[in-house]
Amino acid sequence: MPDNIHIRLNTASVEARVDAIQAAFEERGMKPAEFIQEFRELAEEKWLPENGARVCARAWTDPAFKARLMANGKDAVAELGLSMPAHHRYLVVLENTASIHNVIVCTLCSCTAFSIIGLPPDWYKDLEYRARVVRQSRTVLKEMGLELPASTEIRVWDTTADTRYMVLPMRPSGTEGWSEEKLAELISKDMMIGVARIAGT
């Protein structure tokens, strides 16, 4: 680089840059602080994995609901009072079986059906998970604590701009007659992403 060319680096702190962006929004009549607070409340109070767990428990106990869920996930969850953003046009529910295991990834970023299964975990956003699970799914799942039999087929589903996925775990034996509330307690966000299974299934 020639000696007479100087580049001025922006050394402002992250906090100062955030404040500057917020001030620019406010000058234009926007209210970022209110939006951030509203988003935080949604994430903490409404976008919870308990939503998806309730969906799964209903599917386990109501065959007609399960059929509707598998045919049109977005319409089916709406029956339970659960909504999805308009740009999430489709919710595809993937059923795990004794011979098939489904796992979800977003290779471009970190998209999930967040209003149903909760916001994505940090590891889901990690480039290593996103790159490796599509090529080394069995190894990645084993590293995450889920070792599947060699006979189990693993299917990896990559989220698209308008399609979101949710895994329906297998219902464990011995839970016949359980209430939906008790069944829902068995189900975690990791299970609905497909990196975990209920013990004994």
Local structure of 163: helix, strand or coil: strand
Q: What residue has token string 């011995």?
A: 174
Choosing from 13, 56, 83, 109, which is the catalytic residue?
A: 109
Neighbour count for residue 10 (Cβ, 10 Å): 6
Residue 25 burial (CB < 10 Å; 0-12/13-18/19+)? Answer: middle
Q: Which two tokens stand for residue 169?
A: 């775990």
Choosing from 56, 83, 99, 111, which is the catalytic residue?
A: 111
Choosing from 13, 56, 83, 106, which is the catalytic residue?
A: 106
Concerning whether 56 is annotated as a catalytic residue, the answer is no
Pairing of strands 100-105, 153-158: parallel
Backbone dihedral angles phi then psi of residue 91, each to the nearest 5 degrees? -120, 115
From first CA to last CA, the distance across the chain in angstroms is 63
Residue 92, Ramachandran bin (φ over 0: left; ψ between -120 and 50: alpha; else beta): beta
Q: Are 117 and 168 in contact (CB under 8 A)?
A: no
| 134 vs 129: CA distance, rounded Å | 9
Concerning whether 111 is annotated as a catalytic residue, the answer is yes
Choosing from 13, 83, 99, 110, which is the catalytic residue?
A: 110
Q: Give catalytic residues, as residue numbers.
A: 106, 109-111
